[in-house]
């Protein structure tokens, strides 16, 4: 099973990844990072397929996909 890691320091909460995830495993969290942004979080209990659409669309290069 694949998983993703989101660098919360780089994420600006644009939510592009949340709309593209076919499994709906990414959401904008309720915490704020050191830059003042609500950042994206990965729902750990989901079944990520490793498609990497989230990483490809991220303008801040804040997402890594591990297969």
CA 4/CA 27 separation, integer angstroms: 13
CB atoms within 10 A of CB 25: 21
CA 57/CA 9 separation, integer angstroms: 17
User: How many domains does one find in the chain?
Assistant: 1
Residue 41: the pLDDT is 96
For 21-55, the pLDDT digits (tens) are 999 999 999 999 999 999 999 987 778 999 999 99
Residue 8: the pLDDT is 96
CA 59/CA 3 separation, integer angstroms: 19
Q: State the CATH number of the domain containing residue 50.
A: 3.30.70.20
Which residue from 55, 59, 39 is spatially nearest to 4, judged by alpha carbons?
Answer: 55
Segments forming the whole domain that contains residue 33: 3-66
Residue 67: the pLDDT is 87
């Amino acid at each position: 099973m694949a998983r993703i890691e989101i660098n919360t320091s780089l994420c600006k909460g644009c939510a592009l990844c949340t709309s593209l995830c076919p499994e709906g495993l990414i959401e904008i969290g309720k915490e704020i990072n050191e830059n003042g942004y609500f950042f994206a979080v990965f729902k750990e209990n989901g079944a990520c397929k490793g498609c990497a659409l989230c990483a490809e669309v991220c303008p801040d290069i804040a997402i890594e996909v591990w297969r």
